Amino acid sequence: MTRDDLITMLREQTPACGPARDALVAGADFVVWDGLVPANRHAGVFRARMRRSLKRGRTVDGLADSVDILLRAGKEPLRTGSIDAVDRSSWFTIFLNSTATAVVACCGGRQPITMEPAGAPGPAPGPAGDNKPADGI
């Protein structure tokens, strides 16, 4: 599958398809794996991911729609793939039919911003009244 093929296949299956298509146009890396997995098995995994995301107060574009599509697809064998933006700020999971000729669903979006947990050790302070690090540089 070429980049142009995938760009063409990403229509409006879910709200994440447009941003995924934009990422590909901008040069994002992508991969589609050969293995086939029943859609309903994906639905169970991604439904659990959706619950965890919601508990953390984070939504994932197209995830609820993708779960619904996967549930409706039942035992249909699907391929999966991923799209990673050039700057790694966004990621997408794509679900394709067994021949990889049609995108069935897509979810993803901006990577969450990770911050150091409160109380994490930072650089050691220098001597009292000295704003230099402990190594004196």
d(C-alpha 109, C-alpha 97), whole Å = 22
Q: Are the C-beta atoms of residues 59 and 113 closer than 8 Å to each other?
A: no
In tens digits, the chain (137 residues) has pLDDT values of: 899 999 999 999 999 999 999 999 999 999 999 999 999 999 988 888 888 888 888 778 999 899 999 999 999 999 999 999 999 889 999 999 999 999 999 999 886 555 445 554 444 444 444 443 333 43
Instruction: Calculate the alpha carbon distances from 111 to 2, 18, 44, 93, 134 in Å.
Output: 25, 16, 22, 12, 34
Residue 87 — left, alpha, or beta (φ > 0 → left; ψ -120 to 50 → alpha)? alpha
